[in-house]
Each structure stands twice: as structure tokens, then as C-alpha cells.
A and B are shown apart, each in its own frame.
Chain A
């Protein structure tokens, strides 16, 4: 079985500040890990993914995430927040081998203030 925990249903930052959204996963086999973003009244859009190889993954809009196996974490960061980053962010896990579906966390709403 696999699961995802996102710490904090809401995170507030000021424009220009560091963004850190936390994600911890549980998986009995090597995972695929994903971050998605959802803007109001839209579908989920893939930000970045980790499959194998380099543990620091760069995505769109200046976001990046680092896979830390020892901590079972895949936190999302961005050095400087923009107002346009305000959205809901979802972490998701699948499995590298065998079959599994895509399991999502409950999401973290990022609020950016001027």
C-alpha cells in the first residue's frame, strides 16, 4: 500500500519569500513521485516528477523538489514566490515497478501576499 501526507493544508508566504511545501510518502517499493498544481476552476497540471536518477528535480515555473529516500520525503520549493503561484498543490505517489494507481495527498493551498 502507498500513501502521501502533505503537512499543512494552508501555507502563507509573502511575495519574494521562499516557498516550501512538505510531502512525505509511504511505499513498500521504489516510488514515482509527482507534484501537481491546481488553479481555481481548473484541472491539475503536472509541475514535476521523480522517477529514477537525479534526486533533485526541476519543474515548471521555477519549482523544484528533492527526493530523500532516508526521510521518505519529496518537498517542493521555490526560491522566490510570485503572486501567480497562489494555487493548490498536490503531491502524488505511484510505484516504479509492479502495478499501482496514482495516490494523491490532500493538497496544500499556497497563499501569497504582496
Chain B
């Protein structure tokens, strides 16, 4: 158990819908990362927050947004969902920037 908690574990929704994925980082970790993993794209970095501030953006679509709250938990919002958004979404946390990240078990999103 990495100490990073992601909910829900599985999510099935229809095209056009909006979903929110939640991440609770390890106790004391200030940095939160979001990644998308699919068979065709591999592991793609989406976005990083550090102590509530956005620090880096990767291949995140405009339909996707995220935030980190004062209690350091983070949410990833996915809207206008398409079939191609079906993937595993991972959250990871680290105590500081530049150090190793600890991954949650992921949320498997299926868009039908």
C-alpha cells in the first residue's frame, strides 16, 4: 500500500458525461501528479500540483481540469467524455518536487 488513495476504483459512464476522480495523497506529501494510461498512448503525464498551485501541465485536454485543495487532496474533472477517454487514471504524490512519486491504484474509466 503506497498510502495514496484514489476513488472510485472503477467508473463506467456514457459519452458526453462529466466525471470527477478523487485523490488523497500520502500524509505530508505536498505534490500531486495525475497520469493517464492507455494501451495505445502508454503512461501520459497530465498535470502536477504543489501545495495547491499548478506546477506543470502535460498532455492534458482542454476538456479536463484539476485542482488541489487546501487539505492537499486533488480532483481531476473530465467533461464531454469520449470513447477515447477510456483509460486508467493514476494519481501520485511526493513529499517535494523532483523526488520519487508514490502511485495510487488508479481509477479505471470506461466510456460507453
Do A and B pair up? The answer is yes
Q: Is the CB of B43 within 8 A of A99?
A: no
Distance of A105 from chain B, by nearest CB (Å): 9
Per-position binary interface string of chain A over residues 90-104, scored 1 when its CB falls under 8 Å from any chain B CB and 0 otherwise:
100011100111111
Q: Is the CB of B58 within 8 A of A101?
A: yes
Q: Is the CB of B103 within 8 A of A45?
A: yes
CB of A46 closer than 8 Å to a CB of B: yes
Q: Residues of B contacting A45 with CB < 8 Å?
A: 2, 103
CB-CB contacts below 8 Å: B52-90 with A: 55-56, 58, 90
Assuming the contacts A101-B33, A106-B42, asked whether A32 and B99 have C-beta atoms less than 8 A apart, the reply is yes
Q: Residues of B contacting A90 with CB < 8 Å?
A: 43
Q: Residues of A contacting B42 with CB < 8 Å?
A: 104, 106-107
Q: Residues of A contacting B48 with CB < 8 Å?
A: 101
Give the complex CA separation of A104 and B12 in angstroms: 27
By secondary structure, the B interface counts as strand
Give the complex CA separation of A102 and B105 in angstroms: 18
Per-position binary interface string of chain B over residues 91-112, scored 1 when its CB falls under 8 Å from any chain A CB and 0 otherwise:
0101001111111111000000
By secondary structure, the A interface counts as strand
Can you name the residue of chain B whose Cβ is closest to the Cβ of A107?
A: B42
Question: How many positions in chain B have a CB within 8 Å of any CB in the partner chain?
Answer: 24
Q: Residues of A contacting B58 with CB < 8 Å?
A: 101
Q: Is the CB of B100 within 8 A of A43?
A: no
CB of A70 closer than 8 Å to a CB of B: no
CB-CB contacts below 8 Å: A33-47 with B: 34, 36, 42-46
Per-position binary interface string of chain A over residues 47-78, scored 1 when its CB falls under 8 Å from any chain B CB and 0 otherwise:
00100000000000000000000000000000
Q: Is the CB of A94 within 8 A of B43?
A: no
Residues of A within 8 A of B (CB): 32, 34, 36, 42-46, 49, 90, 94-96, 99-104, 106-107
Q: List 8 A-B contacts (CB under 8 A).
A: A43-B104, A45-B103, A46-B100, A90-B43, A100-B97, A100-B98, A101-B56, A101-B58
